Structure formats: structure tokens, C-alpha cells
Structure 1
């Protein structure tokens, strides 16, 4: 495989004429934040624009966006944004990009556009959209895009083949090869084969399940398992899933109708997305099955099913709040909670924290680890082998996955005969040029995480997150002193207050004489008499040394010196 992942590269050279440049801004190294920028003869085409959800090491962060810096002064060059499907990790960052230029065309399937339009409405953005479907070809600037049906865990997913004078790039988006999907819409391998016959110069393939041997379990195998859980449950059932997983919601609705239960959607995104899916005909709601969540108090527990968000342990989602007893919905002994989703890498601790909380309340928790209540939406190794043999690409660039997934996908490509030097192992920010049927990494651009924290976007830095982690782990100490503005003599203090430190404030009385002595020595130098910053650093060093040696802690220390 070309380009070792950890290798540091220089800035890319100026793009040559009639060369296609591919720059991933997200999705290579993480499961999320998917975004790829294609450039040809001065114009740009963006494929997907998603978010990544934060981990425990990013406290207070709501979302993580791709880094749009490379686009900031080239917004007029963007021909379109092509969205492969409606999951948050592929569309969630669109509102933040359209804030910069609201009239960039959005291209996607009917359901995908409906989901993003509803999201943009909350951001008060009215987009320009173009709905496409499989078999359709559209041209955006110099990019000819052919859309191909693929099967995924959400209806209406599309792959896109982008052709320019430099060649053809086939981007799968997220896909699998379920041969008996619930909606009857299979991955169009005939189109893949036809494109392969014409010549695919770069095949960008979903890597999420590249380490999983064989084939991904079909959606139809989940229905009987859900049915059995519903059949034996005597009290309330709570099902947690992604708010866009229409197929799973359909199976829950069907099981509820069979056993005479009512279903209430819980969570704003769940209510919004399933309302859209039902209105557009992607979700068939059995008669007299849906009820408003406000009416659940009128239903007996054995007639109730709650379909909610929070399957990934998100702190503010419905399921986490239920586990924390911070929601109008409660669970207890005899209730059943079904986690109908896979674990996204990095979310394990959050999810099992919620599972433990629910079980502590007495609920039975059914999840993928103990029952087949979910199947992945991504192709496993056997399916990827089929695709490589069908397409026979000249070059391969694994996308969508952690480093281990990308490497595993690259090895599968090599096993089918793709030369190792034609397997491009790239990461976010790497710049790949496609010219004369050969793709190679030519450089790297700065590419970092952009954090959404409340209403602020991009203002939180890694240093801020480090401070938050220290505050959470080590605590906070403040030191206050007043000095005479003329003589520098200590007038009041030092007062020491600690928060989040196990020891009482009285423990710092031992260090007070040392602080006073250090301040007096510092002000003895006439040149430093009015340098309050230096006096603050003196107090920080004295307290920091004491806390480190005696208490074995490294809290944040905030010294304040005021002149009077």
C-alpha cells in the first residue's frame, strides 16, 4: 500500500491541468465526519458533509465538524454538494457549510434531501436542492455524476460515479449487499460491473466492516428476533435506534401491531425523521399504532412501545435521560429495553454506562451482544471481495473507517489483484492526484477537528479541552493576594480556595508562609515591584510544587494579584 499512514507530508504542489485532485476532509481515521472534496480545472465537487460525535476525552463538545479552511476562499468554485444518504455522519455538517454560502446546490435522493431540508429549516437556511435517483446522470461544472443504487441501513442510499477528463472515481458511500432487503432495493452490482467495463480509475470503498469476515447479516433476520422479544415481554418495551434507521423502525412498528401495542416516538429527531419517512412512503405505519408520547400515561405498560434515540449513549438523548431518571419515561423491573444498533467505535463506554444504568433500575436490556437485534449497514470482507472482482479498478482508496479498517480494506483489494502501489492509504488532509490512470498522494494540508460547543463553532481548541479534562480529573485552585501599588508590600492574602480537590482548604494553611516569603523576595527587586504577572507566577510555582509533591495532584491553578 502506498503512503504509510503516519508519514508527514509537505504542502501539495499546484494542481496540474486535466488532473483530478481528491482531498478527504473527514472519515479516514474515524467512523464519522465524512467529507471528500474533488477538484478539476478550478471547480470543486463535495461528496458528503457529516459530523463526528465526541468521545469522553472531549468533554462539553456537542459535535465535531470537518475543517472547512481549504474551502473558505473558494466557495464560489463549489459546483455542488452530493449527499450519498441521510445519516448524520454524512449530512450533519451541511448547515455549518451553508452558513458560509447558502446557495451551494445540494444533490441527493428524495429522502436524503428531505432529512437535510428539515435540519436546515431549524438553522433558518433555505437550500437549493436537486433530487436524483439511481440510473440518473447529472453534470455539475466539469463533473459528470452517475448515481447508483446501494443498499444500506437507510432507504434511498446512493453511490456516485464522478467522471472528468482525468478519469472516473466511483464513491460507494456507505453500502452493503443485502440480497433480500426490506424495501426490495439491492445494491446495483450490474451498474458497478458496467462502470468497471468502462474503466474505474479510482474506487473509493466503505471500510467499516473490512475486518469482519463473510457477509453482513440481512435485515430480514432481525424481524423474528424482535418478534420473540415482543412475544415474551409482559410490560413496557423501549427500543433505542438511530433516528434515521427507517428499516428498524418499520420492524418495530410491525411487531407492535402484531401484539396489539401502541408505539410512541420519543426524541425530537426521531419524531421529525419518521414523520418525513411516513409522509414520503418510506415508512408504512399500521393503522391505529402510533400515539403521541404525551398520551403514554393513559396506556397500560403491556400495551406500550417507546421508540427513542440514544442508542450510542449520547448524554442528552432520550435513552440516557431515561437511565438517569431525568425523563418523563421511566423504566423498572419487568420492562425491556432493546438497543437496536451497533456500537460506533469510541462510544463503548458511553453505551455500557447507559446499559448499566438501565439494568440498575431493574430493566432487562437486549442488545447486539446478547441477541441478534441489529445488523450492520456496511459491507463485510466477503462483499468487498465481490465488489473488487466486479469493478476491477485501476486504483483503490479505502474510505470511511478507523485506520485498522482502512488497512484491512486495502489488503482485500490487494488480494483481488490490485497492485500494492495502486492501493492509496490516505488520511484526512492527504491530497491525492489522479492523472493518466494513476492515483497517488502528493501532499498534505492542515486538517483538524472543528468543535461545536453550544453556540460556538471552532472556538474551542485542544488546549481548552485539555483544561476541561484537568478540571474534571484534578480540580481547581485559586490564589488571591493584594499588594501595595507603591511599595509592593503584601496588604491582604494570600487566600487559597480549592474546588474538586479532595483535601479541605485548611490543608493549604501550611503553604501560606512560603507564598508570603516568595512574594516578599520577588518584590524586593525594585524592577519587579509592579509586575503583577510575575508575582502571580511566583504564587503559581509555590502552590504547584506543594500540591504536586504533597498531594500528588496537578490541578489548574489560577493566581490573582491585585494592586491597591
Structure 2
């Protein structure tokens, strides 16, 4: 959920607004977006949203931000096209001011003077940003690599970075994703060479799973298929959408007659067909997962199929990806997934490229970004190796402002920040307490105690009845349920004998009594929910 705010002369510029997908301890949560409380409180000072590229973790949160801040959005052609699809889904397309820019442009709005610089990544139309200030430029370079042989022939604009370094860079913020990896990131063209080799030797149908946003990867799949006289079908909602948008804008060049509807695929010889699909991260509902589990309504995996996993598992997805690969092998497919086989390359710079950017920019201060804490620390070490003083390197924290003045760098008072959960149509209505209850329900289940009391006498007229869900199988635990019912009755009788008819006290007594009993008997702590009805 990348989001950075740059303040210059009192004006605010938002850089990216992404989403994070929920972790295992966030049951029921669909998306995680940045907390924009500080921006809403300072809405009159926000001049715009500046997007670096079209990946979900950089544009996925934009519609949620625009609901609270009506500001212009700047981005390249492909980035805005992908964002427009999201805005249509949220009903915000007509009310949003989208302003297209291209690499090499320079725009000023208020005190925000920003230059856009072309860099390479695993999606087309990516830019770094240089905010020009009286003290020098603030260069923001997230998600990049220096590919010397990019598929589209557009190398990163090293001259622009060198020119900024010559003029004076106040601070560089740079991608730390691959800061632990030595050397250089392999070129995207290497993947195309691997595709050509696999396609020329495959005897049956070929299926390729990759990230939907990697337009150059998709283009190279089309190129390899055309070379071998194969037809291509596309499946997966996000994949279909990106292919349509990229083709319409000219980022994809699909040879005439090569793209066929999935419905017509069965009529083609298997050795003449290729399927491009989503699901490279083992997502349970993705097209590839449903194929592997024989749940896809149009495509089934057969012996002789070659499946290429053209992606590396994102940390945390390794088990899910491994499970899909195992199932594909069981279905008789040949699966090509090992990184050393050349079916994937990263879109992030490795150590030598990171040092090259540092040496080109020659920043006075350095802030490593976009990575886990250990990656930030490793990137800081690389910066020191290039000659940046340790005192001039800042490891930032979410919500902790870093201020540059004529006197130096200062860490200011923390502002409201963090994460907001999106669950269905609800935004922010699920917090830590709700998540705690959901986690408890998912681990130990729930026990509901229902009691009916008389309004006139204050005595129990029915119950307590005990209902269990996700705790024990009632038919096999009747003795436990009967004893639990007795414990609840005893707790109620004790309170009523003391003339304590407060519902809160009654519920608390039942809850405490059952908590102790069930822990002694089962070593489990289900959620206990007493319900009192009055007649």
C-alpha cells in the first residue's frame, strides 16, 4: 500500500496510493489501504496525486483516496488507462481529473515542481519523480531497474539522473526490494529467448501463467506463439482486461488472426494452442488454480500439456504456489517453474544498479524505501559504500515526517497514519477488535448461551440453552454440553440469589464460569456469547 507525501512550501503532493492484500491474520478483509486522515485534515493543501506506474500496490488505493480528496491525478498513458478501469468500477471516472504526462515532462502546480524520468520495470510506462526545491531535487525512484536491452528499446534515462546529480540532489528515495541480491537484474529479453526455446520444443498445448500487468512479458508470449504458428487465448479477468487496454493503446502488438476466443480453442489442435492465464501466485480462485483442481468450466489440464510459471512467488505465497505446481504434475503436465531456467526475471534493481543510481544522483541525504526492514538496512549499507555519510541516511517509519531545512535533516512529530481495512462495501469499519473476534472464531469457535427471563419476577423461565458452532461436534459431546448448561445455570442462580439482576453482571458471570470450565475440560477458549431474552 505504497503512499508517500512530499510537502514543498506548504503544498502537498501525494506519490502513489496502493493497496495491500490481507495477511493470514486478517480474516474476511479484502484489501488494506493507507490511512489518509492527515491528508483529509489538510485537504486544501493537497495539489495532486502523482503516479509512478500501474501496479496494484501503487494505484489500487486511488479510488478510495479520491472519495475524500477531489484532486487531479497525474500519470503516464498506460498507468491512467489501468486506473480508469478501477474508477469506472467505483463510479468515479466522470468526476476525476486525469492528467496524462510522459517521461521527460515537467509540471508545476502551486509550489510543487515535478519532473518525470523514464525507468524500466516489469510494466510499461514507468517513471521516477524529481521534485525540484530551493535546496535541490528530491528524487523518488520506486520500483525500477536499469535494463540495457529492454523489450521496447526504451532504456532508463540515465542522463536525466546524472544531470540532476550535477545540479544537486537533496535527497534520493530508492527501491530496496532487491537490495540483498548482488549483481544486476537480468534483462526482460532473456525471458523471451527462453520462451522461444520452450515453445519450439513443446509437443502439446502450452499454458503460461504470469502477472497480468507485465505487458512486455505478454508480448513476448505472443511473439513466441506466432513464430511457432500457434494461436493464443487469454483467460483470467485481470489478464483479459490488461490485454484489451494495452492492445487498444498500442503497447501490445498482436499479430493478425493469432488471438482466438477461449470458446474456439477446443477446435484447434492442442499442439497449435497457447493459453495465457492468471494465477502465478497460487490464488485459490485464479484461472490456473481452477484448471489444476479440475474446476475450470472450459479448460482442463491433460498429459502432454506444458505449463510455464513465469513469476517468482511473492513472500508468503510459496505454499500456495507449491500446491498448484504439485497438482499440475499430478494431472500429467510438464511444469516449468524453476527461476534458473530463465522463465522469469525481476522488475527490481539489484545491488550494482542501486549503487549506479546513487553514484549518478550523488544525493546529500538518502532514504531507502519499498522493502522489508532488513532490505532497507542493506540498502543503507550500499549507500554508505558509495560515500554517503551514515548520519545522512534516514530509515523512515510510516507516519514519521522527515524534514529538510537549511540547517539539515529533522524528524518531526508523528502524524496519523497506518492501515485501513476494506471489507466488502465497508471501508474502515473493521478494526483490531473485530479482527480479534474473527481470529478467535476461526481458531476455537463460538458457544452461545440463550436464557429467557421474566420481566415481572426477574427469574429464569426457560434455558439456559447452549448452541455450539466450530467448537465441538455436539452429537459426540453431549456430556460436555450438558455440564456447560449446568455451569451456566449455577452462575445465574448465584447472581439471582444475591438479587443481582443486572444483565451485564449476569452475562459476565455466565461467561467467566464457562470460560473456566471449558478451559479445564478442553484447553480451548471459544467465544462465549450469552443472550438474555425478556418476556
Normalised-by-shorter TM-score class: over 0.9
Match of 1:538 in 2: 509
Match of 1:134 in 2: 103
TM-score by length of 2: 0.94
Match of 1:118 in 2: 85
Question: SS of 2:401's equivalent?
Answer: strand
Contact 2:103 2:117 in 1 (8 A): yes
What RMSD, in angstroms, separates the aligned Cα atoms of the two structures? 1.9
Match of 2:73 in 1: 106
> Which residue among 510, 514, 518 is the counterpart of 2:487?
514
> Which residue among 252, 258, 265 is the counterpart of 2:234?
265
Change in Cα spacing, 1:358 to 1:541, as seen in structure 2 (3 Å) is farther
> Which residue among 547, 550, 553 is the counterpart of 2:518?
547
Cα distance between partner residues in 2 of 1:558 and 1:325: 41
Question: SS of 1:430's equivalent?
Answer: coil
Match of 2:160 in 1: 191
Match of 1:480 in 2: 450
Contact 1:49 1:66 in 2 (8 A): yes
Question: SS of 2:41's equivalent?
Answer: coil
Match of 1:7 in 2: none
Match of 1:561 in 2: 532
> Which residue among 247, 258, 265 is the counterpart of 1:278?
247
1:290-329 Cα distance to aligned partner (Å, 9 max, x none): 1122333333433332212222233333233334443223
Is 230-239 or 391-400 further displaced after alignment?
Answer: 230-239
Instruction: Give the drift of 1:224.
Output: 2.5
Change in Cα spacing, 1:335 to 1:499, as seen in structure 2 (3 Å) is farther
Match of 2:23 in 1: 55
Contact 2:40 2:69 in 1 (8 A): no
Contact 1:207 1:406 in 2 (8 A): yes
Structure 1 residue 171 and structure 2 residue 140: aligned? Answer: yes
Is 459-468 or 358-367 further displaced after alignment?
Answer: 358-367
1:57-81 Cα distance to aligned partner (Å, 9 max, x none): 2222221111111111322322111
Change in Cα spacing, 1:289 to 1:448, as seen in structure 2 (3 Å) is same
Question: SS of 2:412's equivalent?
Answer: strand
Match of 2:186 in 1: 217
Change in Cα spacing, 1:323 to 1:541, as seen in structure 2 (3 Å) is farther
Structure 1 residue 367 and structure 2 residue 340: aligned? Answer: no
Cα distance between partner residues in 1 of 2:85 and 2:161: 32
The answer for unaligned runs of 5 or more in structure 2 is none
Instruction: Give the drift of 1:360.
Output: 4.1
Match of 1:340 in 2: 310
Question: SS of 1:201's equivalent?
Answer: strand
How many residues are treated as equivalent by the alignment? 529
Change in Cα spacing, 1:301 to 1:456, as seen in structure 2 (3 Å) is farther
Contact 1:203 1:393 in 2 (8 A): yes
Question: SS of 2:380's equivalent?
Answer: helix
TM-score by length of 1: 0.90
Contact 1:149 1:188 in 2 (8 A): yes
Question: SS of 1:355's equivalent?
Answer: helix
Match of 1:395 in 2: 365
Contact 1:262 1:303 in 2 (8 A): yes
Cα distance between partner residues in 2 of 1:538 and 1:336: 63
Match of 2:217 in 1: 248
Structure 1 residue 80 and structure 2 residue 51: aligned? Answer: no
Instruction: Give the drift of 1:460.
Output: 1.1
1:346-376 Cα distance to aligned partner (Å, 9 max, x none): 3333333433443444433322446321100
Cα distance between partner residues in 2 of 1:223 and 1:379: 19
Contact 1:214 1:380 in 2 (8 A): yes
If asked which structure has higher relative contact order (CA below 8 Å, sep 6+), I would say 1
Contact 1:451 1:457 in 2 (8 A): yes
Contact 2:312 2:339 in 1 (8 A): no
Question: SS of 2:413's equivalent?
Answer: strand
Structure 1 residue 71 and structure 2 residue 33: aligned? Answer: no
Cα distance between partner residues in 2 of 1:464 and 1:300: 53
Change in Cα spacing, 1:173 to 1:286, as seen in structure 2 (3 Å) is same
Contact 1:237 1:306 in 2 (8 A): yes
Q: Which runs of 4+ in 1 moved over 4 A?
A: none
Change in Cα spacing, 1:293 to 1:62, as seen in structure 2 (3 Å) is farther
Change in Cα spacing, 1:322 to 1:535, as seen in structure 2 (3 Å) is farther
Is 144-153 or 460-469 further displaced after alignment?
Answer: 460-469
Change in Cα spacing, 1:356 to 1:467, as seen in structure 2 (3 Å) is farther
Contact 1:422 1:438 in 2 (8 A): no
Contact 1:424 1:441 in 2 (8 A): no
Match of 1:95 in 2: 63
Is 132-141 or 309-318 further displaced after alignment?
Answer: 309-318
Contact 1:167 1:435 in 2 (8 A): no
Cα distance between partner residues in 1 of 2:7 and 2:387: 28
Question: SS of 2:78's equivalent?
Answer: helix
Change in Cα spacing, 1:463 to 1:360, as seen in structure 2 (3 Å) is farther
Cα distance between partner residues in 2 of 1:232 and 1:395: 52
Structure 1 residue 43 and structure 2 residue 14: aligned? Answer: no
The answer for unaligned runs of 5 or more in structure 1 is 1-32
Cα distance between partner residues in 2 of 1:315 and 1:481: 42
Match of 1:9 in 2: none
1:481-512 Cα distance to aligned partner (Å, 9 max, x none): 21223333322222112122244351311232
Change in Cα spacing, 1:361 to 1:460, as seen in structure 2 (3 Å) is farther
Contact 2:284 2:290 in 1 (8 A): yes
Question: SS of 1:443's equivalent?
Answer: coil
Cα distance between partner residues in 2 of 1:80 and 1:480: 55
